[in-house]
Amino acid sequence: MQKPIRILLQTTIPTTEDDWNIQRFSMLQGYLASLQDKAGNPLFQVAARDRNSDADDPILSNLDSSDFDELWLFAVDIGGGLTEKEVGAIARFRQRGGGMLVARDHQDLGSCLCDLDDIGSANYFHSKNEDPDESRRCIDDPYTTNISWPNYHSGSNGDYQIITPTKPVHELLHKVGASGEAIEFFPAHPHEGGVGVPSNAENARVIATGKSKISDRSFNLAVVFESTEDVKGRAVTESTFHHFADYNWDVEKGCPSFVEESPGNGMKNEPRALENIKTYVRNLALWLARKTDGEIL
């Protein structure tokens, strides 16, 4: 029997009830924990936690010496979400082969990611590491006026967006058992952040784009980093953590009180949308661990 792949789901804030704490990603945790191989053994062993310290977090700051295979880091802070020691441990974790997913949101939310070398360079914020394309340094979502760029409006929370895979279609976007078919839908969000390929990253590429419902402008949804000789761990960075949040999979799960926008019901009315994001999550968890479906016996 193969050992389960160990995944850490982690936020960059201490547990705060009225915020995007780790409990707001419970559907993601439950889905990953439910997946099994053909013999009925669990594919993944999942731990989910918030920070437990404003100083060095005991898990993150020693991640490189842990037995986790993957870190899924939801950067939900408004500043200072990672310490210098944690950044160093995360870098060593990837160097030794640990897979990593990072996801932020609009404007400067989650800008602590800028400290993460190549991954940081792939995340564009309002006041740190601005988008190199100056024409994109402008407001896209005009409705939530207290949020500035980058804030691409892909739809209401609770709705889905139609994505465009880049060619060739990356294996992360392959539907299970559907030869040649690609995932079509991601959860939508009124103000997604900006991601792109760093100018010096030959091992990175955009795998999917979305389109603003306001400006009709396309924007990047996810950037992947293949392993290199120096950094053995694969990585993916997403334009928003809302691709994985309970509220964006099922609005009845609720949201923090500061969320002002009215939700939609597209995910509820289109079952394929939830199936698509779950397929993507499964693909992510295997790919980051350098596994394929052919290895799942």
CA-to-CA distance for 237 and 110, rounded, in angstroms? 12
List pLDDT tens digits, range 74-123.
Answer: 999 998 999 999 999 999 999 999 999 999 999 999 999 999 999 999 99
CA-to-CA distance for 41 and 251, rounded, in angstroms? 31
Percent of the chain with pLDDT over 70: 97
- pTM comes to 0.97
Its domain, for residue 275, covers 5-295
Cβ pair 188, 239 in contact under 8 A:
no
Total domain count, the chain = 1
Residue 110's Cβ-side half-sphere holds a number of Cα atoms within 13 Å equal to: 30
Residues 6+ apart with CB under 8 A from 64: 89, 90, 92, 93, 95, 96, 98
Q: Where are the beta strands (DSSP E) in the chain?
A: 5-14, 44-51, 70-74, 99-103, 123-124, 160-162, 164-165, 185-187, 194-195, 204-211, 218-225, 235-238
Cβ pair 187, 222 in contact under 8 A:
no
Q: What is the CA radius of gyration of the chain?
A: 18
- Of how many residues is the chain composed? 297
Average per-residue pLDDT in the chain?
95
List pLDDT tens digits, range 192-232.
Answer: 999 999 999 999 999 999 999 999 999 999 999 999 999 99
Q: What mean pLDDT is predicted for residues 244-264? A: 98
CATH number at residue 161: 3.40.50.880
